[in-house]
Amino acid sequence: MKIELSSEQKIIKDQFKEFTDKEIIPYAKQNDYEETVSKELICKVAEKGYLGSMIPKEYGGMGLDMVSIGILNEEIGRGCSSVRSLLTVHGMVALAILRWGDKKKRDYWLPKMAKGEVIGAFALTEPEVGSDAKSVKTNALLENNQYVLNGTKKWTTMGQIADIFLVFAQCDGKPTAFLVERSTPGFSIQPIKGLLGARASMIAELKFEDCHVPEDSIIGTVGTGLTHVALSSLDYGRYTIACGCVGLGQACLEASIRYSRKRKQFGAPLRQNQLIQKMITEMFVDIKAARLLCYNAGYLKDVGDPDSIMETWNAKYFASKIVNKISSDTVQIHGANGCCSDYPVERYFRDARINEIIEGTTQMHEVLIATNAFRNY
């Protein structure tokens, strides 16, 4: 068995890297400080077609294979976790419409999403509901050919700027997915500021107060909101986050190597210190391992192997854990400089922490992975 990128994938990897180096990294610190991704940068991402990376060509998207999508998220994640989060949630909504929306919705929304004319956001989590997603309290009641939504969503990534929201609510006690437009009466958005990491992900709290949406706003059918729509979207989300963790880990590794080469202590560069070498070695090997787990999950998705779901859990679990250790060691190598915003590593450290929580906590991954192991062995 040979695992390697195709010539086409190597070419687009270089293109993704060049874009990240030129258009994302120089502004990542500003994004973090201002807690926003500028409209100009989003437009540049859209112009490159990256917001349509997961959308088929027939709808104006790039139609990339899943390994290539993983490479894109790795490279963007290397530059800015918040920009990567835009690709993640936008893709989650686009794929939900593609897989579970009717032809009318696909034909109308997907071309707009591919061009970046419309930004999507995924609204599942609530103030009192996180991992236990089936217990969402937002309610949808059918009245006169319209659904009336009441409830609150929290921690909605890109909620401050999104145009359409994939919202999950109880319909006759059955979790159901709805597509809600930003301008819908009864729908309000409150920005959430002061996050630990990924500060530019423009997270928001959403409130639905007698919010009326058309009856055909349902994505999928009544009762399939979690079992079909959410789970398939979250699978994509976990995959892109895992790949983004690899990119963030790569950024940490490169920063650590640069610093340990130039920084001198006791008359010699840090790179000659064996304990520093140990940290660098572990970073290097862990990143390679995480990248291979992501490539494997992406490959299995491309060939339609059902094991891809479990392999995505494995990749997200491992990648999100190791990037926290890598970022911690990176700060340690930088010493006091690692605690200062003059260096990007303090941002890497904060951004890394978010990844063990979003799209399934580390502990939920451990429960599922262990359950699967006991079932198979």
At 172-203, the pLDDT tens digits run 999 999 999 999 999 999 999 999 999 999 99
Domain 121-222 has CATH 3.40.50.2000: no
Helices 66-79 & 81-100 angle (0-180, nearest 10)? 150
pLDDT for 108: 98
Kindly indicate the confidence band of residue 131, based on its pLDDT and cuts at 50, 70 and 90.
confident
pLDDT of 1 reads 64
Clarify whether 359 is annotated catalytic.
yes
Fold match between domain 7-119 and domain 226-376: no
Q: Identify the CATH number of the domain defined by range 7-119.
A: 1.10.540.10
Domain locations in the chain as residue ranges: 7-119, 121-222, 226-376
Among 143, 205, 359, 366, the active-site one is 359
Class of domain 226-376: mainly alpha
CB-neighbour burial class of residue 258 (10 A; exposed 0-12, middle 13-18, buried 19+) = exposed
Give the tens place of pLDDT for each residue, 40-99: 999 999 999 999 999 999 999 999 999 999 999 999 999 999 999 999 999 999 999 999
Across all residues in the chain, what is the average pLDDT? 96
Query: What DSSP assignment string belongs to 126-156?
Result: BTTBSS-GGG---EEEEETTEEEEEEEEEEE
Sign of the alpha-carbon dihedral angle for 253, 82, 42, 35: negative
Residue 318: predicted pLDDT = 98
Whether the predicted pLDDT of 2 surpasses 80: no
- How large is the average pLDDT for residues 311-332? 98
* pTM (two decimals): 0.96
Task: Determine the distance from the C-alpha atom of residue 45 to the mean position of all C-alpha atoms in its chain, rounded to a whole number.
Answer: 15
Question: pLDDT value at position 183?
Answer: 96
Per-residue confidence (pLDDT) for residue 324, from 0 to 100: 98
